[in-house]
Homo-oligomer: A and B are copies of this chain.
């Protein structure tokens, strides 16, 4: 039951926001009464915390798996692609993250530090190594680059269905994903001799 509540709460918080979702709505969606929900999670804030921790925990595990199996040269774009894939398979995750970044900055920051900093540190170090080997452009700012790629990946998934309205040509999701990876690759790696 706890897991069903978490799944439904994730969905509703992502779609309508924390303040736009009542405990009543969550309880109703899983078929129990509100006070029963409050037996599993002692308050609405406790429910939010559990939702967030569960999601970031999954993300961390996902990224660790990609880092472990990816070849070094492709590691960075692989991680970006994995990130977009992770969020695309359930876009509510990206929306939830964006919402929490706006609604619950301090809470999200603490969790980011705890769950994500280990591997962003790895990636930054990786970029620096690529720079000394001449594979990565010298003018890349490692930390800033990683941050922008996260913004781009999360933002892309969360806002992808807005695309049609913003630009007339209405690129579909594939084109957008392809373009993100192209932007990342081109702005990160030095052109190889054969290219261009």
A interface, CB within 8 angstroms of B: 16-17, 19-20, 95, 98-99, 101-103, 105, 108-110, 112-113, 116-117, 120-121, 124, 137, 139-148, 150-152, 154-156, 158-159, 161-171, 175-176, 178-180, 182-183, 186-187, 190-191, 196
| Residue ID in chain B nearest A173 by CB atoms | B144
Contact B109 A165 (CB under 8 A): yes
A19 to B175, CA, bound (A): 34
A185 to B102, CA, bound (A): 29
A139 to B196, CA, bound (A): 11
B residues within 8 A CB of A191? Answer: 191, 196
B residues within 8 A CB of A102? Answer: 17, 95, 98-99, 158
Contact B168 A117 (CB under 8 A): yes
